[in-house]
């Protein structure tokens, strides 16, 4: 299990939203580079970035910050939010990002994603945000008629290998991840699944580890870290200890 800390960018700052609602934000830092460096120092092997301005308006105000983070840290970055074209994807890779998360264009302009998969392969991740098992796009404001399972399976056929699955009812709520939906997604698609949304404690991570055999092998954690519900360094030490015990 890989634990990936998250940085959500809005107007250049590090923020968190509740259930993806733009008007319910808390600012946790004016300099996201400091946050990224702190995560790296605590043991992060990868960092998850979301451009909220891009997600809501399709126009980024945060690429300069993304580039600064990429220059400051040594660990890989993954970025989602507002990436709507092949040019956008190329630009993000040029900034130093290792993995690009695609969500809205998978619904709105699937032709672009198909071309992108042919060009960039497993450097692309499907970002699947769901509400009541339906796919949600455009910064979580538009609920589609697509079933989350069918949608993921469709993109698996075109070459997607990993999906970040977010139950938006859980995101920012610290109520625990939706274990049933995560297990269902992994088993029904055979994709590698990254859990996102709801993690509130080390106890939640321990529950997620039990899904690793089903294909849920990564988890993104945000608010629990910022609200000091989860000590990131402690989580990495626990994970290391658990792996050593499995080898004995």
What is the reported pLDDT for 245?
Answer: 78
- CA dist 135 and 129 (Å) reads 6
Q: How many CB atoms lie within 10 A of CB 33?
A: 17
Number of domains in the chain: 1
Q: Any catalytic annotation for residue 129?
A: yes
Residue 14's SS3 state is strand
Catalytic site residue from 51, 129, 167, 204: 129
Task: Indicate the DSSP class of residue 161.
Answer: -
What's the CATH code of the domain at 32?
A: 3.20.20.70
Residue 162's SS3 state is strand
- CA dist 184 and 74 (Å) reads 34
Residue 169 structural domain: 2-247
Q: Any catalytic annotation for residue 94?
A: no
Query: Which DSSP helix (H) or strand (E) runs through 204?
Result: helix 202-209
Q: Is 82 left (phi over 0), alpha (psi -120 to 50) or beta?
A: left
Q: pLDDT digit of tens for each residue in the chain (248 aa)?
A: 999 999 999 999 999 887 666 777 788 999 999 999 999 999 999 999 999 998 888 777 899 999 999 999 999 999 999 899 999 999 999 999 999 999 989 999 999 999 999 999 999 999 999 999 999 987 667 899 999 999 999 999 999 999 999 988 876 667 889 999 999 999 999 999 999 988 999 999 999 999 999 999 999 999 999 999 999 999 999 999 988 877 76
């Amino acid at each position: 299990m890989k634990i990936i800390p998250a940085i959500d960018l809005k107007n250049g700052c590090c923020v968190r939203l509740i259930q993806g609602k733009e008007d319910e934000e808390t600012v946790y830092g004016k300099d996201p580079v400091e946050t990224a460096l702190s995560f790296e120092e605590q043991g992060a092997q990868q960092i998850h970035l979301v451009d909220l301005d891009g997600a809501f308006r399709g126009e980024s105000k945060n690429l300069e910050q993304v580039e600064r983070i990429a220059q400051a840290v040594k660990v890989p970055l993954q970025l989602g939010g507002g990436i709507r074209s092949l040019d956008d994807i190329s630009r993000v890779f040029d900034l130093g990002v290792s993995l690009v998360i695609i969500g809205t264009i998978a619904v709105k302009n699937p032709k672009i994603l198909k071309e992108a998969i042919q060009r960039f392969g497993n450097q692309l991740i499907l970002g699947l945000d769901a509400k009541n098992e339906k796919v949600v796009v455009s910064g979580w404001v538009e609920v589609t008629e697509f079933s989350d399972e069918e949608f993921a399976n469709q993109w698996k056929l075109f070459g997607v290998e990993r999906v970040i699955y977010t139950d938006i009812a859980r995101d920012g709520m610290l109520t625990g991840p939706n274990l049933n939906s995560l297990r269902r997604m992994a088993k029904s698609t055979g994709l590698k699944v990254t859990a996102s949304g709801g993690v509130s404690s080390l106890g939640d991570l321990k529950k997620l580890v039990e899904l690793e055999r089903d294909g849920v092998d990564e988890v993104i954690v945000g608010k629990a870290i910022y609200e000091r519900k989860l000590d990131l360094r402690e989580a990495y030490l626990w994970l290391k200890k658990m792996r050593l015990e499995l080898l004995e």
